[in-house]
Amino acid sequence: MSDRPTLLVTRTLPTLVEARITTDYDARLNSDDAQYDDDALVARSVGANAILTCSTEKFSEPVIQQLPDSVRAIATYSVGYEHIDLDAARARDIIVTNTPDVLTDA
């Protein structure tokens, strides 16, 4: 059993990003880059401490309500966070983060 936190990554990310993730976390990568539906998001998050997602996965209130208690954070690999129900996350004390200003100089 690893002492590192478990991170569910919902999409394939750039090689260097995934390399860093696997160094720092017990990572569950999505090597097929398949989009997870609601049931898959919930099922794959069992035992995860955090989820790193993209804007393609929708974390609606019903999905967030079904996430296991182990999930303490949802980080989105995007500037926007409209695909995550912030009120539902707040009600579960789940931290939500994004990547502000990532495109500022683009």
The CATH code that applies to domain 6-97 is 3.40.50.720
pLDDT of 60-102, one tens digit each? Answer: 999 999 999 999 999 999 888 999 999 999 999 999 999 887 6
The pTM of this model reads 0.92
Report how many helices (DSSP H) and strands (DSSP E) the chain contains, helices first.
4, 5
Distance CA(82)–CA(14), nearest Å, equals 23
Distance CA(25)–CA(6), nearest Å, equals 6
58 close to 83: Cβ distance less than 8 angstroms: yes
Distance CA(26)–CA(7), nearest Å, equals 6
Residue that the structure tokens 């995007």 belong to: 78
